Structure 1
Amino acid sequence: MHFPIRVAWCLLLVCAGVAGPAHAERTDVEVRVLARGAKFLGGYTARVRVVLSDADTGEILVRGQTSGSTGDTRLIMDAGRKPGGKVSTADSALFRTTLDLDGPRRVTASVTGPLGQPQAITTATSTQWILPGRHLTAGDGWLLELPGLIVDLASPVAYQWIKTGTNVPVRAGVTMLCGCTISAQGPWRVADTEVELHVTVDGGAPRRYPLRFDPDSGLFGADIPADQPGLHELEVRAWMGPSNNAGVARTAFFVQ
């Protein structure tokens, strides 16, 4: 065999036997986050941080935040109870991204929020395989759930000074993580919600007071006695049994 022919034949064998580099494929991913027992998290009050990372190496692939509306209440609360039922609409809050994948990757999604309410922030994670060119956009996409309640103390002001012998008004707002309000007749009911105040003075044994719902203000409250001097530390605990949701807020004031 002549030399040029041998060279050409060898090159042909090499090309046939050695695969070239894999071609990366565009892969769309949509991540949505539901408040447990309620609606989507995103927008002005309930933004959620989303981080996608390689589950095997820890490499961060992309990060961002959800944006959009809380979604359709009736669809989420009714149709969403059906197995596999889609609960999102076109404007429902989500994080949308594109990955360029040259092979399957095991990806972990970590969602943290609501970012606008630090006392209520929690995190959930989920891991799954993502295949090149196989978009995670059908139905609700990659759907995760965050548990909890937002408890926000309206009064008293932190570390204010109060005279002994007076009554201190304690007022707290309680909502679902998505900011959805709790009311007497709505989908998230006062009757399902217990709110309790724990008060300690200078680290002593706690005293407990139930907080009652005021439909006019939409707040839970009680007036508690400032009957001894010292540092009064307040902890408001909210519990919604049907959805296994809990929330806590804390503050303190001085009595002199």
Structure 2
Amino acid sequence: MRLFKSLICAAAILSSVHPAMAEPTKIEVRVIARGAKFLGGYTSPVRVTLSDADTGETLARGATSGSTGDTQRIMTNGKDSDGKRASADSAVFQTTLDIDRPRRVTVTVAGPLSQPQATTTASSTQWVLPGHDVTAGDGWLIELPGLIVDIADPIAYRWVKVGETVPLRVGVTMLCGCAILETGPWRSGDTEVEAFVTTNGKSLRRIPLRFEPSTAVFVANVPADEVGLYEVEVRGWMKASNNAGVARTAFFVH
């Protein structure tokens, strides 16, 4: 019994003299738009935060940087190569954690920060082991849903005369900024865009928008047939990917 206690004491002394050494552990975080491409630093930056899931301690923070990636490679899930969707220039957040024990790490992403009305968040938690990099394949891959809906006209709180027709022009893209066109991976025919207009807080009108190929925007006309405040909510919906987006504006009629 005494020998057993002595061994325990010796082990405790050795562990205090030689504590576990922290090991650098690389982590790559990529953020991909649902049904589309990576969210990059120059068009659609994404804030990335790594934290300890048990203590809440922030371990690293930054933003993705790089391009939206190779369309063919992404949309075929890398079937022509190694199954990896990311290419060398694809947007990524890279960091190195110095950890001396396994830690449950949560990654939280928010973006695209350049379009606040379209910003969404997502998070994921997994064990990270000292010295075992999370970099294989696409690394730690997080998906963000949504569409960017951006009202170009009318500008907010514009004044118009009663009896005029107000043109409504709306840009709609995938969350990565990828264009919606008549042909291609993201088609206007698969995208439903509608405006919901209220006058002085009542008289709700629902106005469908049509796609204008020459400018790649969705358009409609709003009759200004009553004096007051017109509030416009534009909703975008892409059924194939369950992506939605919303934008709002308002104008005055006098």
Identity, in percent, stands at: 66
Give unmatched runs, 5+ long, in structure 2. Answer: 1-5
- Taking the TM superposition and a 5 Å limit, the aligned residue runs for 1:192-231 are 192-231=190-229
The AA in structure 1 aligned to 2:59 is: L
> Which secondary structure does the structure 2 equivalent of 1:119 belong to?
helix
Partner of 2:86: 88
Partner of 2:121: 123
Q: Among residues 182, 186, 189, which one is paired with 2:187 in the alignment?
A: 189
Shift in Å, 1:43? 2.2
Tell me how far apart the structure 2 counterparts of residues 220 and 197 of structure 1 sit (CA, whole Å): 11
> Which secondary structure does the structure 1 equivalent of 2:215 belong to?
coil
- TM-score calculated relative to the size of structure 1: 0.92
Shift in Å, 1:108? 0.3
Partner of 2:3: none
Shift in Å, 1:13? 8.4
1:82-131 CA distance string (max 9 Å, x none)? 9x931001110000000000000000000000010011000000000000
Shift in Å, 1:16? 4.6
> Which secondary structure does the structure 1 equivalent of 2:19 belong to?
coil
Partner of 1:255: 253
Tell me how far apart the structure 1 counterparts of residues 7 and 235 of structure 2 sit (CA, whole Å): 74
Counterpart contact for 2:73–2:79, Cα < 8 Å:
no
Partner of 1:28: 26
Tell me how far apart the structure 2 counterparts of residues 155 and 237 of structure 1 sit (CA, whole Å): 15
> Which secondary structure does the structure 2 equivalent of 1:21 belong to?
coil
Tell me how far apart the structure 2 counterparts of residues 80 and 148 of structure 1 sit (CA, whole Å): 23
Tell me how far apart the structure 2 counterparts of residues 188 and 215 of structure 1 sit (CA, whole Å): 13
Give unmatched runs, 5+ long, in structure 1. Answer: 1-10
C-alpha change, 1:87 and 1:126, in structure 2 (3 Å) is same
> Which secondary structure does the structure 1 equivalent of 2:138 belong to?
coil
C-alpha change, 1:216 and 1:27, in structure 2 (3 Å) is same
1:153-198 CA distance string (max 9 Å, x none)? 1100110111000000000000001000000111001111000000
Counterpart contact for 2:42–2:67, Cα < 8 Å:
no
> Which secondary structure does the structure 2 equivalent of 1:251 belong to?
strand
**Number of residue pairs matched?**
245
Counterpart contact for 2:41–2:63, Cα < 8 Å:
no
Partner of 1:6: none
Tell me how far apart the structure 2 counterparts of residues 213 and 123 of structure 1 sit (CA, whole Å): 29
Partner of 2:102: 104
Shift in Å, 1:45? 1.4
The AA in structure 1 aligned to 2:83 is: G
Partner of 1:43: 41
Tell me how far apart the structure 2 counterparts of residues 22 and 155 of structure 1 sit (CA, whole Å): 61
- TM-score calculated relative to the size of structure 2: 0.93
RMSD (Å), alpha carbons: 1.7
The AA in structure 2 aligned to 1:77 is: M
Counterpart contact for 2:50–2:59, Cα < 8 Å:
yes
C-alpha change, 1:23 and 1:203, in structure 2 (3 Å) is same
The AA in structure 1 aligned to 2:211 is: F
Shift in Å, 1:205? 3.5
The AA in structure 1 aligned to 2:126 is: Q
Tell me how far apart the structure 2 counterparts of residues 127 and 135 of structure 1 sit (CA, whole Å): 15
